[in-house]
Structure 1
């Protein structure tokens, strides 16, 4: 199904029925007809980092009307060849992304490199006059954040960070529900992202021709420690701290982005994490199980979990707990459950003499008479469902390209991206140091 077919299908999609709940269909931008775009109004896009995520993002990006891929940079010959197979022989390919940034026909770049290249590629691109869509996490080191924020300000370039749920119609509805008081005062959020497969645990395929002839190993290493060529580290880079940011940078950052978007918070003030290498003892130096606890200044706690050995299928979700109910994100929608709290004072008289029990009960009922509601009880469960095959990735990229044209702010700029990634990487610091880490979410700095 191509994008046009999907848009037609989404427009007539019906919400799934949830037993015991009142269910509503969510409607969003993907149901709107695409605006015609002339050939002269095309945005010319270049991809930097043509691995699995980069190719997926690009495949989604070119379905946005008026976007054309013109160039690809990657350190592996096979991915450059595949890019031409996928997008046409006319696509310019190179191992050196600076050649792309020098091209006048490139308007914007999509950066999907290993984490340790995000900052430099993004800063170079903005200084070259290109707008940037940068995959999460925005940073690999805390020092990356201020430099990226300043580069965006100084160059007046658009930069969108790629945690796509910030553009999701589901998360927008959750934000609306929370702000409306649907679950009362928020006190806790529980979120998780579990996996149970080799590919989910970053054990990506290594091609049979991997060598120093086909892979530009020095360019891949960049600022990382200089070591002999390792095909495993080249193609499975997330398993090492030198290039990736562990489960925190890969998955916690999505959960932080969703939390901050829905609650409006700028981040936690305290973080504590634990975990370990429980199953994937294959030479990696980052944990495959991580648990994190975070204090938020707004008066709620966040509890996160990633487990790469959960014994089941991949699953992710959120539960927001409030004083008047819970709100759950999962299964392509958001569900609110309300269980009214007792508003009367407690009546605990079972240990009193029977005569006294009767006396107290009579006085209690005089003060708090039984209520007999008129009409139907309010719905305790409400479900808001996105259309089948809904893509928040499409909406996030569409938002980016609209900003490129209009120069209006994106939904996930460098400040938002730094606050989400900065909060996520607190988990790694706490895990490594074995202690609570203090964070200033406004100044975006670790406290001494």
Structure 2
């Protein structure tokens, strides 16, 4: 008899379990050669967490490929489960308990789009259950959670993608090519800003009038967070609280750092320092609405040492300035939403002479001797900067970074590969510096980080 899809997947799972037992050191190097999903079948996925990003991710996943099918959803608020059926069809299986989804053998992949403090728990449960995982950024809620997630992924042999989708856009791929080609010389500075002006941008999301202990599972939401009385504001505006979210750094800096790491091939910074304040949104939240962080990146084989300065301002008075600039010795790359501009300008080789210079303070005879030596040492062509050259790049029509990111995930699921564009190691190398930005802010100190070993370094005073 021809094996059907279910027996095929069971066979692969059994083989994977056997190989993981036989070769625990590098199991996925062997397992990756097996097909995890039949080439003729759709990849069936479920979304765990049907809030704003849950819907956005689900839609992007469906846009990414005709070979995927949305079949189930979990959320702790009943209203979102009702809305899921209204939006995606009455046949979608819904539940408050994500473990019901993990127990289903006909689900190949899960999208984890929950508050940050649940990311590591559900990810590890899903990998253990044999599911491929797409986990929203930041990958973990606390720095110390990263290694166990990476370990669970390696042992599972499953595909895992972290969800910071801008690196799957055409402009970021083009910037990566430009930098590798040496178009801006050696990078020395990166700056990236993300301002918002408005209540929704500052995470004050709407709270449904039926929110109660009957319509949502408050105890499950708290999870390993401190036990506090029922508060629908904390449930629906969880990003405002350290117990469940990771503040502006975890929501926004993570995109900026992920993009910088992607285009520079960096493993991460070695020193992080943050400063900020709660300036405007004094509504009970315990995270800042203005945050500036400085990250120092060490010299590597891929790049020279450089500084990165990140800023988020939710108390901005309407003058929104959201941009990313990567600056090198021979030019810069500046991003907008769907494009970039490469500006090439090389400094002159010769040192300055004339104009606002100290030479006029020398005695007349010394000035003459200086001019004579200068002319002999620096011919005219070394004294001028190269003409400014601009190269503009626009995203191709229809370029969809969010869908592209999911397509990369699903293609790797289909192949049984672990090599996604943002695997857990990459994801943790972006998440850890983000969490270090928060740690620096709250503890008022510099955080020393080892980007290779991916752990905090203790430095003697």
Same fold by TM-score greater than 0.5 = yes
Choose which of 303, 306, 323 in structure 1 pairs with 2:312. Answer: 306
The corresponding residue for 2:412 is 403
List aligned pairs for 1:108-187, cutoff 5 A: 108-187=109-188
Contact 2:279 2:288 in 1 (8 A): yes
For residues 315 and 176 of structure 1, what CA distance do their matches in structure 2 show?
Answer: 26
Deviations 1:323-344 (A, max 9, x none): 1111111241121112221112
- The CA deviation at 1:141 is 1.3
1:258-269 aligned within 5 A: 258-269=259-270
Structure 2 SS opposite 1:54:
helix
Q: Which residue of 2 aligns with 1:323?
A: 329
Q: Residue 365 of structure 1: CA displacement?
A: 3.2
Give 1:179 deviation, angstroms. 1.5
The residue that corresponds to 2:433 in the other structure is 423
Other structure's SS at 1:345 match: coil
Do the aligned residues in 2 keep the contact of 1:38 with 1:66 (CA within 8 Å)? no
1:370 has 2:380 as partner = yes
Deviation, 1:407, is: 2.1
1:92 aligns with 2:98: no
Report the counterpart of residue 432 of structure 1 in structure 2.
442
Deviation string, structure 1 residues 114-152 (Cα, Å, up to 9, x no partner): 000001111111111110000000000122211111111
Aligned counterpart in structure 1 of residue 360 of structure 2, from 350, 354, 360: 350
**Residue aligned with 1:438, SS:** strand
Q: Which residue of 2 aligns with 1:289?
A: 290
1:104 positional shift = 1.5
* 1:66 match: 67
Q: Is the 8 A contact 1:184 1:323 kept in 2?
A: yes
277-286 or 185-194, larger mean C-alpha shift:
185-194
2:153, 2:382 → 1: CA distance? 61
Q: Residue by residue, what CA displacement relative to the aligned partner does 1:21-51 show, whole Å, maximum 9, x if unpaired?
A: xxxxxxxxxxxxxxxx999420001000000
The 3 A distance-change label for structure 1 pair 223 and 182 is same
State the SS of the aligned residue for 1:65. Answer: coil
- Give the equivalent residue in structure 2 for 1:341: 347
Are the counterparts in 1 of residues 39 and 414 from structure 2 also a CA contact under 8 Å? no
| Aligned mates of 2:198, 2:296 — CA distance in 1 | 32
1:369 Cα deviation from its structure 2 partner: 3.6
1:190-339 equivalent positions in 2, closer than 5 A:
190-298=191-299, 299-312=305-318, 315-339=321-345
CA contact (8 A) 2:242 2:286 kept: yes
CA distance in 2, matches of 1:141, 1:343: 47
Take 2:266 and 2:288, find their aligned partners in 1: how far apart are those partners?
A: 28
Contact 2:170–2:396 (CA<8 Å) still a contact in 1? no
Query: Helix, strand or coil: the match of 1:243?
Result: coil
Distance 1:293 1:372 in 2: 35
Does residue 402 of structure 2 align to residue 393 of structure 1?
A: yes
Q: Distance in 1 between matches of 2:39 and 2:441?
A: 51
Assess, with a 3 A threshold, how the Cα gap between structure 1 residues 47 and 351 changes in structure 2: closer, same or farther.
same
Secondary structure at the residue paired with 1:58? helix
Match of 2:390 among 377, 381, 387: 381
Name the structure 1 match of 2:453.
443
Separation in structure 2 between the aligned mates of residue 389 and residue 279 of structure 1, nearest angstrom: 38
Change (3 A) 1:356 1:195: same
- State whether structure 2 residue 49 is matched by structure 1 residue 43: no
1:195 and 1:313 in contact (8 A); partners too: no
**1:175 Cα deviation (Å)?**
1.1
* C-alpha separation in 1, matches of 2:377 and 2:214: 86
Q: When the two structures are superposed, what TM-score results if normalisation uses the length of structure 1?
A: 0.87
Give the conservation status (yes or no) of the 8 Å contact 2:38–2:414: no
Deviations 1:144-200 (A, max 9, x none): 211111111111111100011222221111111111111111111111111111111
Q: Distance in 2 between matches of 1:372 and 1:289?
A: 44
Q: Offset of 1:447 from its aligned partner?
A: 1.8
How big is the shift at 1:372? 11
Once the two structures are TM-superposed, the CA of residue 384 in structure 1 deviates from its matched residue by 1.0
Computed over aligned residues only, the root mean square deviation of the Cα atoms, in angstroms, reads 2.0
Q: Which consecutive residues of structure 2, in runs of 5 or more, have no partner in the other structure?
A: 1-36, 300-304
